[in-house]
Amino acid sequence: MVVEFVERPLPKPSDEGYVEARLLEALGEARLALEYLERGLTRNAAGKAFQAWKALLAALLRLELGRLKTFVKTEEGRRWLESTAVSRVPTGRMKTLARLLEEAGHGGMSLWVAVVLDLHDYQYHGLDPSGELSKYATREDAAADITSALEELTRRAEVLKGRVKRSGELEKALEELKQALTRRAQ
């Protein structure tokens, strides 16, 4: 069940199971986002899609931590990356962290983070035809971006197969998400 993945205590970022736990969280949140979309709760779905991407970023930041530290110029910045960025993924620094991940070979992260930040604004402000508080004038536009962001998250989780110890739970969560996205596309 998806809720079980989301409600488990997280291991510490230094623990071996941290990346897998964050990926499980990302997939669980993504699945909940799709359930909310199916119920017509677009703003709630946007929030879950945002949380899914935040968990994915945490997994990638931990996975790439050694390489990312080489891109940061100051010791203070390297300490912040290890002590705060990996565990918290501050919303206000997501664009910076996405650019760092791009340097580590995760292309397109900045563009996807921009989309999920727009979804985050939509979650709080709802529809806004003027475009001042939210980038979405219709629920259909928001739903399309939610679906696209979740499809991209699924692709990225799939690519990590060779780099992350995969449990049966992780494989099952990934398969359930792929099936849900396929049903949504039909």
Q: What is the pLDDT of residue 39?
A: 97
| Per-residue model confidence as pLDDT tens digits over 109-118 | 999 999 999 9
Those residues of the chain that have pLDDT short of 70 are 1-6
Domain range holding 168?
A: 2-185
Q: What is the pLDDT of residue 127?
A: 95
- The overall longest dimension of the chain from CA atoms, in Å, is 50
Q: What is the pLDDT of residue 6?
A: 65
Alpha helices in 64-161 (DSSP H): 65-71, 75-80, 86-88, 94-103, 109-125, 139-159
Helix (H) or strand (E) holding 8: none
On whether the CB atoms of residues 146 and 1 are closer than 8 A, the answer is no
Total domain count, the chain? 1
CA distance 109 to 171: 23
The values of phi and psi at residue 166, to 5°, are -105, 120
Q: Secondary structure of 22-37 in the HEC alphabet?
A: HHHHHHHHHHHHHHHH
Total Cβ atoms within 10 A of residue 123: 20
CA distance 84 to 91: 12
Q: What is the pTM of this model?
A: 0.94
Q: What is the pLDDT of residue 74?
A: 97
On whether the CB atoms of residues 52 and 27 are closer than 8 A, the answer is yes
The residues near 94 (Cβ < 8 Å, ≥ 6 apart) are 54, 57, 113, 116, 117
